[in-house]
Amino acid sequence: MNPDNIRIVLVNTSHPGNIGGVARAMKNMGLERLVLVAPKDYPSEQANWRAVSAIDVLKSAVVVPTLDEAIQDCQFVVGTSARERRIPWPLLDARSCAERIASASSSEQVAVLFGREDRGLTNDELKVCNLHLNIPTAEAYSSLNLAMAVQIVAYELKMQSAATDSPTDAQEQWDTPFASMENMERFYVHLEETLTDIEFLDPTAPRQLMSRLRRLYSRVRLDEMELNILRGILTETQKWVQRGQDQESDGPYT
């Protein structure tokens, strides 16, 4: 495990006190990289006050306007959610998920996303993730305070850090780097375009097609080479469609 490759990403946090609480939870467990996506009230005295001796984590926090910017160089993204099955996606509890995060972090950039205090992460944000993490709770009340949720995940990561360089590290057993989120997003745009060109996808009635395809590809985890092959196939497919259209407009035998 390499904690330097793990970033905690807070999306649209409302209460600055929670941001300070997160910084403290992180530092207690040996994590330092905090990214704030469009925080509602930050910087703030309250955040500093709650961070106590983790003020350095807060000072070095990176503030970005969009989630894309927070994760574009990551190869592995985990979304946390209080509700167990918001959308059907691979889902693990904090302990099992920490094992996956720890192993990925030896060679990849990893982000763990935490949502808004009032409504968590949106379905679109959850769909960007490779994996979902849920902290098991009592059924009657499943929503933890944001900083406490970060604390539990950070603690589970701390427990994993004892088992350094786990032999199950996926990237260690793979010869090509896994695709970054930025390249995956470009691929999805290209895929959607091509599926529309060949009329497999009707943009007026897309149903769940793109979500299902996202889930498929994020489960497989493409490497950069495989991604290039798929992009190449899409480009050639689009050329064929274009040629067909050109021929049609030329008329049959001119």
Binding residues for ligand SAH, rule: CB under 6 A, are: 80-83, 114-115, 117, 119-121, 133-135, 137, 142-144, 146, 149
Identity of the residue, 80 or 130, whose beta carbon is nearer to ligand SAH in the bound complex: 80
Identity of the residue, 58 or 78, whose beta carbon is nearer to ligand SAH in the bound complex: 78
Give min distance, CB of 13 to ligand SAH, in A. Answer: 9
Q: Which amino acid is at 12?
A: N
The token pair that represents 2 in the structure block: 């390499």
Give min distance, CB of 140 to ligand SAH, in A. Answer: 12
Give min distance, CB of 108 to ligand SAH, in A. Answer: 21
Give min distance, CB of 188 to ligand SAH, in A. Answer: 23
- Report residue 83: phi and psi, to 5°: -95, 135
CA distance 44 to 15: 10
Identity of the residue, 82 or 209, whose beta carbon is nearer to ligand SAH in the bound complex: 82
Identity of the residue, 55 or 91, whose beta carbon is nearer to ligand SAH in the bound complex: 91
Identity of the residue, 20 or 120, whose beta carbon is nearer to ligand SAH in the bound complex: 120
Give min distance, CB of 147 to ligand SAH, in A. Answer: 9
